[in-house]
Every structure is written in C-alpha cells, then in structure tokens.
Amino acid sequence: MQFSSFIDFVAMGNHGFYVWISYGFTIVCLTILILLSLNSQKTIKRNIIKKLHRDAKLQKAQVKYEQQQIDNAADIEL
C-alpha cells in the first residue's frame, strides 16, 4: 500500500491512532523488558561475585585451620 503523503501514512486509512498506539505500547513493553533484564543480569553478576569472594574467604579459613591443626599436632609430639 502506497501513501500519497506523510500525513496519509500517519493516518493509515483512519486506523493510524490504533496502529501507532500499538507500536508505542510495544516499544514501551520491550524497553521495560530490556531494562528489567539488564537489572536482573547486574544483580546476578553481583551475587556471583559475592559468592566467589565468600568461597575464597572460606577456602583461606579452611587452609588456615588445617595448618593450625598440623602445628598443634607437631607441638603435641614434641
């Protein structure tokens, strides 16, 4: 379908209001979806980093505890 002017294109044969409202609603929904997805992704990455730091800290504490156990066993044998 060809339009003779830009106004006719916007009017879309007297259905322009519904067509452009539909486009606008779709764009708003997609924008909200993208923003929520990006926010969720950022939160997930932050939680993963926290977990990795927590696991590293626990690993260090475990190694330190095991070293203390070895040192205590060596002191008892002396």
> What CA–CA distance (Å, rounded) separates 7 from 11?
6
pLDDT band at 10 (very low <50, low <70, confident <90, very high): confident
Of 39, 41, 40, 59, the residue nearest 51 (C-alpha): 59
**pLDDT tens-digit map of 13-43:** 889 999 999 999 999 999 999 999 999 999 9
Q: Is the pTM of this model over 0.75?
A: no
Mean of the per-residue pLDDT values for the chain? 92
Summarize the confidence of residues 43-53 as an average pLDDT.
98
Instruction: Cite the DSSP H helix spans in the chain.
Output: 6-11, 16-77
Q: Domains of the chain: which residue ranges?
A: 6-77
**pLDDT value of residue 3:** 81
Does residue 12 sit in helix, strand or coil? coil
The torsion angles phi and psi of 65, rounded to 5 degrees, stand at: -65, -45
